[in-house]
Structure 1
């Protein structure tokens, strides 16, 4: 007798037996569906949020957050999620779409070589959103108002240059006794060099930014760029760069062009680069830094929502915050100062919003040094972390000395995280050398009302300097010894065991921010320095932003630690930041940024720049 089919076997059973089997199957599948559904919801909501968003779970996200929203940060997180979700809708997946979005946003054809650039992006799974590259065009725009040949010659003759010729990159300049930045940047450019035109990338080898062109001059140059912007007819477009043969012909005789370097008050130089109607433009520098820093009364900036940073770009801008002249070492006393008000081509890893360098990824982001990255270890899962905040570093930020140290941002952070100091302030209703307690009318939460922030910090915070960097060297740091004690360092990989990691400026930007973002901890970021990646990171979704006064520090930490929802919010941002950072802050992404930047810089240095462009996608139509 042949084998019966499953259908024959089923029809041979009694009706009640069939009914029983059907119900067992239904219940079994229902149970499995329920378990899978719950598991995926938990994974998507709290472990891989951006995957969750793209799979159609955004409505559930909004429902979860909004139905429990009773704090300003709830709204900021929800708004950040919505902004990011809309941003991803602008992603380009092929060259025609990318070129079209380029023309729409830039008002020009893409530069020649755009196709090779996009092909590399596609092959390396890069997320390409046109707005991610806005910084390039803001930095390059003023140079369209200068003579291209002059710009090219000044770029070529600088002391430290990454030079691309014939598809090969070389670093030129004496780096003896210097940090290895030139080699790190050269190695990065070398990966793209076979597809780059001949181009020079002059390097700023100082920590501090060096160019601050007055606002009126920059506005005039940017106005010239805007007036000359147009999408040329296909027949008028030139698709190959002219090259730098004429520049190279006189290179042996050329001397580095040095504009007039200025000293004096850095604040005075900064405010001249602010718009005439900006709050800081007419505010004079502080004359006596021995007086304690003054916090603004009833401070309610446009960039904040109910006391919390909403517009992080504006929160970095000293032009709208005159008080920063007394709350940041950059304006108190920079470690070194060699600044010009003339626009010359110079590339660097960070700058103030008013500076005129051309941004590239910081060299420290290109090194494998675990001091900056923490190595291959990025911390344990959130549930296994220490419920606390950690910070270790040196007392940098400028030249701190007896007369001015109370105005430095890192000193303020460490005092604010010192439980003993804060408890004494709460008990005596006093202030300390670097800060005042945040006003309770703005940051009203139980620990602030009950005056228990200090006792909480004694257990919660582990923060301190490993080197006080006092000036002069023979001062023995007597002027800060009553307030600070040098602590043992903690390797980055050990710091990642804590949930919360504040990140504030040193002499310039903090080179640890990328490492923090890629960890499993939550970065709390305050800075006045812009970086290459700013347009691809969303505050309150990838990190928690802080005001540069740090007056919101306690309230932010309280929100994330007061209850289960706060902890889930912290975990959500920490894990989303890590996941997103692993997609858009890779070495490949830094290469793509610099690659595209050099295509644009080569064009602005070309005599035929107004008609140079990529049009192959239009010829396909």
Structure 2
């Protein structure tokens, strides 16, 4: 639209300044110059017209006409230089405008880069866990990994594969198998975590303050002495405790103590009392009618008796149930976690009828909340299409149900549930999900001391093993129980429809993944690779509506028990959640098999173990199972599988269980949790802070 416009006199003057000995401007040129300067202002335009009329008068000397001009009021003024000086002023003014414009653009660009590079605020950003408080990332090592680029929208990249919220989506045009990258990246992250741990009490205190922006609890030095004496590894990795307790600090100690007393009277809890270094237990339920009603209190006593003399007197209430109990709405949790300590305590009593349903534990911008509103959850299958395959990259992010609404239809703990949101209840639970506000403790059932096991090369069975009951939920005709995790696993690995599926080639090769992928019969793979079935008979099902009979008819059950020695001959073993967490994970890790674990339940050790280094994480829908097996398990049709890599992960898992999951490691966790607990319930919390001095070393 500007193509036919005549070039302005100002532009002409900027291209080249005339020498001082050039003739003066003509009256018309001066008229155009004035109009360019005043055309936007009516007052200035009127002055320009009057100036133009004077310039056209033949009686006005030319030098006077150029050097004199009128201001906005119409008064005649004398210029401070000749025409060359006027042109120089114009050029300087224009140059400054260009410089300022460039600086403005550069400043805007730098600001955008700073915003993109800024760390995500775990409080306000809904990509994080619902119960995630504000913590600081470590600065002791370079956290920027060469192949990992994080963005504020949850997107990342690993090689030429893309990831969102912990799931790595396969690029079918890539020639690099994603599992190779996942194993390499996992090892880098683990090595960095181990290298940055505190070596002295002062370092541990400084790291605590940096992460949590508060002093450690009183008795921290005693805890540190226990850690040093028993060689407890990763002394800085206790973020789970702070995540769990963060919402409670906004509630007054008086109110928390009242709720603690109420919780101790429940038929679903037991109470530990520590007084003078002695631990006693009590409960209101009938231990003969509650599963593990006697064992679980004793397990907790056994954990803390070695350090009870270091703990202040306190009362602790622990849930006897497998499953978590407490839920906070996202809005309420945000108010609690983001409270400034100077603002005082919050009146956090919540109307139990205010909101119901798990999506309310997520922000309204989250995938789960919006999926619930639309009543539609999209699911992707990677069984038959290369471009829809994906793997778990960041297990912690994958367990964030707010960002993975598909999990609501894949786990028995979530299917069909519509619980109310409430207020923080100071009860320690044996399990929780990312949505729940329970304080996580340590269950010890099925924990074992590592024993002798066959070496990898001597194991005789290369099928994938799983045995277990059909626990996961209560089964009846009112819920879609066929989608629960254990029924789905058994169904997938024992039936053949749809018959064909696509598996990625482990390579290495120069061709793309889609070019080297194989189409195989699922029935044939199940026969060749899988040894997965239920044991005993259907449990937790409604007999009156025919659900128990249907499960017995549709799913394989075996009465044949596999002995411990027989189980140790298997190279590949699956671990999957039951009603809550899987209690067998410790025992499986110590077996020396390659453990493939599917879970949505964080545990006390989750910050202290590395997926793809100590075990292989699986998606809860198991669409990645066949590709994982194809990558690690050699066969006549798959000679390039990574058997040595499988052996290395299996060995690392067994070593980790032997050095990071000892009784001393569990006691160290509970020791630190109970120090925090004592401060939380103290009438004067500041009096329960730990103050470091050099003579403590």
Q: Same fold (TM over 0.5)?
A: yes
Are 2:446 and 1:379 aligned?
Answer: no
Deviation at 1:382, TM superposition (A): 0.9
Q: TM-score, normalised by structure 1?
A: 0.73
C-alpha separation between the residues in 2 aligned to 1:208 and 1:357?
Answer: 10
Unaligned residue ranges in structure 1 (runs of 5+): 1-65, 230-257, 288-292, 365-371, 428-436
* Residue in structure 2 matched with residue 176 of structure 1 by the alignment: 287
State the partner residue of 1:411. Answer: 487
> CA offset at residue 470 of structure 1?
5.6
Choose between structure 1 and 2: higher helix proportion.
1
DSSP-derived class of the 1:450 partner: strand
Q: How do 1:581-600 residues align onto structure 2 when only pairs under 5 Å count?
A: 581-600=657-676
Per the alignment, residue 117 of structure 1 pairs with: 223
Please give the per-residue CA displacement for 1:184-242, whole angstroms capped at 9, x wherever unaligned: 1122122221000112221112222111110111111111267789xxxxxxxxxxxxx
Please tell me whether residue 136 in structure 1 is matched to residue 209 in structure 2: no
Q: 1:613 to 1:222 in 2, by over 3 A?
A: same
Where 1:451 maps in the other structure, the secondary structure is strand
**Shift, 1:492, TM fit:** 4.8
Residue 498 (str. 1) matches residue 570 (str. 2): yes
219-228 or 200-209: bigger deviation: 219-228
Larger Rg: 2
How far apart, CA to CA, are the structure 1 residues paired with 2:514 and 2:324?
A: 39
Instruction: Choose 108-117 or 476-485, whichever is displaced more.
Output: 476-485
What aligned pairs does 1:65-80 form with structure 2 within 5 A after superposition?
Answer: 70-80=176-186
Match for 2:259 among 154, 158, 166?
A: 154
- Over 3 Å counting, the alpha-carbon distance change for 1:610 and 1:306 in structure 2 is farther
* Separation of aligned partners in 2, 1:223 and 1:476: 46
Aligned with 2:260: secondary structure?
helix
Aligned 1:200-599 pairs, distance under 5 A: 200-224=315-339, 269-284=357-372, 296-297=379-380, 307-333=390-416, 341-364=422-445, 372-373=446-447, 377=451, 379-385=453-459, 386-402=461-477, 404-418=480-494, 421-422=495-496, 424-426=497-499, 449-466=518-535, 467-469=537-539, 471-473=541-543, 475=546, 477-487=548-558, 488-561=560-633, 562-563=638-639, 566-599=642-675
Q: How does 1:35-74 map to 2 (within 5 A)?
A: 70-74=176-180
SS at match of 1:329: coil
Hey, what's the Cα distance between the residues in 1 that align with 2:380 and 2:662? 42
Q: CA RMSD in A?
A: 3.4
Distance 1:448 1:482 in 2: 35
**2:303 maps to what in 1?**
188
Distance 1:150 1:105 in 2: 27
Change in CA separation of 1:309 and 1:228 when aligned onto 2, cut-off 3 Å: farther
Contact 1:396 1:469 in 2 (8 A): yes
- 1:448–1:356: structure 2 CA closer, same or farther, 3 Å change rule? same
Shift in Å at residue 123 of structure 1? 1.0
Partner of 1:90: 196
Distance change in 2, residues 1:190/1:550 (3 Å) = same
**Higher RCO by CA contacts (8 Å cutoff, separation 6 or greater):** 1
Q: Secondary structure at the match of 1:332?
A: coil
How much has 1:311 moved relative to structure 2? 1.0
Pair 110,376 (structure 1): closer, same or farther in 2 beyond 3 Å: closer
How many corresponding residue pairs?
493
**1:238 aligned residue:** none
The 10-residue stretch of structure 1 (341-350 or 171-180) with the greater mean CA deviation from structure 2: 171-180
Deviates more, 1:487-496 or 1:141-150: 487-496
Is the CA contact (8 Å cut-off) linking 1:210 and 1:340 kept in structure 2? Answer: no
Q: Out of 350-359 and 575-584, give the one that drifted further.
A: 575-584
Q: Distance in 1 between matches of 2:373 and 2:503?
A: 26
Post-superposition Cα deviations, 1:409-447, rounded to whole Å, max 9, x if no partner, equal 1011111221xx12x5226xxxxxxxxx67989x96899
CA contact (8 A) 1:373 1:492 kept: no
What is aligned with 2:688? 612
CA distance in 1, matches of 2:473, 2:359: 19
Provide the rounded CA distance (Å) in 2 between the counterparts of 1:280 and 1:314: 14
Distance 1:140 1:492 in 2: 40
User: How far did residue 497 of structure 1 move?
Assistant: 2.0
